[in-house]
Amino acid sequence: MTTLSYTSRDEPWVSRYIYAERVKIVHASRMEADDAYDDLYGPVIEVLDALLACIAGEVDDDEWNACMEKVQAQVLFAAFRDDDRCDLFLGVSKAMSDLGMTSLDGAVEQGE
């Protein structure tokens, strides 16, 4: 379960911070020797692009929730799919939490 904060998305620096996380993912994907990991990086880049579009656009809370859920799901899917790249993808999730965009509910925070 994800709890969302609606105020932080209106801050101008939020999009710059998310874009910086996107740049990290794009750079990491370009550092790969072949296209073997495109299916890992590509979907994360796509959902971050969608999130940036949501931040820039006028979206209601339901659209925002849907966008945030897609981002969190895709980032966590990528993180748990590849142990060697886990920290990179979890960094995106942590950045979103640090921004106040998402937070884990009490059960998850307590490790239950």
What angle (nearest 5°) sits at the alpha carbon of residue 15, between those of residues 11 and 17?
A: 105
Nearest-angstrom CA–CA distance, 52 and 68: 11
pLDDT tens sequence across 72-102: 899 989 999 998 999 999 988 888 888 777 7
Nearest-angstrom CA–CA distance, 48 and 61: 18
104 membership: H or E segment, kind and range? strand 102-104
Nearest-angstrom CA–CA distance, 67 and 24: 20
pLDDT tens sequence across 39-64: 899 999 999 999 899 888 878 888 88
Domain membership of residue 70 as a residue range:
2-109
Q: How many domains, the chain? A: 1
Return the pLDDT at 104: 54
